[in-house]
Amino acid sequence: MMRLMVGNQRGGVGKTTTAMTLARCFADRGFRTLLVDADPQGSISSVLKLRPEHYLADFLLRQLHLRDCVLKVSDTMDVLCGGRTTTDAEQQVTSVVARERLFEDMFSNFDEIYDCVLIDVAPSISLMQACAMVYARHFLIPVAMDSLSVSGAGASLFYASTISRACRVPIKPVALLPTIVNKRIGLTEVVMNMIHALGQQNEIPTIGPIRTDTAVGKAHRAHQFLADFDSKSKALEDYDQVASQILEFFQMPATKDGAALMTASEPFVHETQQAAGNP
């Protein structure tokens, strides 16, 4: 079973792209997948042009059944959309006792229904992010190729350890994921070294990277998953490898029925091992 939040305190690093594309990779491998948009900007519904009747806020506060709030986007994938009502919900729950447990209380009832739950969050520190961390207990940090993204990743790690201590739940960073990587740009190597250093300091592996690919923006503009827009795109190929590594981290098979994939994946290399060959 996988519960994974995708977060970085900096915007524009590829969080939404990562959450959407990985969710789709897991769903395509047969895992029953739920993608949750906990960002009040509601990027997922705008990218996919979804018009749900109910949103995350309705599920959290109006006692509606999850099944009535999600949209089925494929046989194995549901999306719980977010939007401005997420902010209202956030304000309403600030006075609730043990409010950080809200997602855990609500989503744990559906643990049997989904193999993978991925949560996209806003870049700003918010109660929704704390709720997502306490529920998922694992998070993946996309980092784009600028130093502010690396600082944002550091801030996310610090926030996770604060929440972990305050709420007394283990919260584990799964990996740093370099995104929008173009090796021909001079800054890339510098930022990659910063990412490796941050990973080493915190004993977190670095996986990926995800290459820069114009298909990503085009897919967004066409309101499609990358897999539907261009099944042969470079970024999708990279995300699919990362999906294998994450499944391995969660000790799940490469596909739901346990069948091997045609493409072999890179093993999940721990940062300390990787650092040996990476001066």
Ligand X SMILES: Nc1ncnc2c1ncn2[C@@H]1O[C@H](COP(=O)(O)OP(=O)(O)O)[C@@H](O)[C@H]1O
Q: Whole-number minimum distance, CB 121 to ligand X, in Å?
A: 9
Report the partner that residue 216 touches, choosing among Mg ion, ligand X, none (CB closer than 5 to 8 A by kind): ligand X
Residues 18-57, mask of contacts with ligand X (x by CB under 6 A): -------------------------x--------------
User: Is 21 a residue that touches Mg ion (CB under 5 A)?
Assistant: no
Whole-angstrom distance, CA of residue 274 vs CA of residue 268: 10
Q: Whole-number minimum distance, CB 15 to Mg ion, in Å?
A: 5
Task: Single out the segment in contact with Mg ion by CB under 5 A; choices: 7-15, 160-168, 177-185, 236-244.
Answer: 7-15
Map the footprint of ligand X across residues 71-110, applying CB under 6 A: none
Specify the residue, 16 or 244, whose C-beta has the smaller distance to ligand X.
16
Residue 259's identity, in one-letter code, is A
Specify the residue, 159 or 250, whose C-beta has the smaller distance to Mg ion.
159
**One residue of 16, 33, 156, 206 binding Mg ion per CB under 5 A:** 16
Map the footprint of Mg ion across residues 37-56, applying CB under 5 A: 43
User: Is 155 a residue that touches ligand X (CB under 6 A)?
Assistant: no
Specify the residue, 6 or 252, whose C-beta has the smaller distance to ligand X.
6
**One residue of 4, 14, 81, 178 binding ligand X per CB under 6 A:** 14
Q: Whole-number minimum distance, CB 35 to ligand X, in Å?
A: 13
User: Is 226 a residue that touches ligand X (CB under 6 A)?
Assistant: no
Q: Whole-number minimum distance, CB 244 to ligand X, in Å?
A: 18
Whole-angstrom distance, CA of residue 31 vs CA of residue 246: 13
- SS3 assignment for the chain: CEEEEECCCCCCCCHHHHHHHHHHHHHHCCCCEEEEECCCCCHHHHHHCCCCCCCHHHHHHCCCCHHHHCEEEECCEEEECCCCHHHHHHHHHCCCCCHHHHHHHHHHHHCCCCCEEEEECCCCCCHHHHHHHHHHCEEEEEECCCHHHHHHHHHHHHHHHHHHHHHCCCCEEEEEEECCECCCCCHHHHHHHHHHHHHHHHCCCECCCCECCHHHHHHHHCCCCHHHHCCCCHHHHHHHHHHHHHHHHCCCCCCCCCCCCCCCCCCCCCHHHHHHCCC
Q: Whole-number minimum distance, CB 86 to Mg ion, in Å?
A: 13
Q: Whole-number minimum distance, CB 234 to ligand X, in Å?
A: 8
Q: Whole-number minimum distance, CB 179 to ligand X, in Å?
A: 5
How many angstroms separate the Cα of 18 from the Cα of each of 13, 23, 106, 131, 277? 9, 8, 24, 20, 27
Specify the residue, 83 or 205, whose C-beta has the smaller distance to Mg ion.
83
Q: Which residues of this chain interact with ligand X, rule CB under 6 A? A: 11-17, 43, 179-180, 210, 212-213, 216-217, 220, 235
Residues engaged in binding Mg ion (CB under 5 A) = 15-16, 43
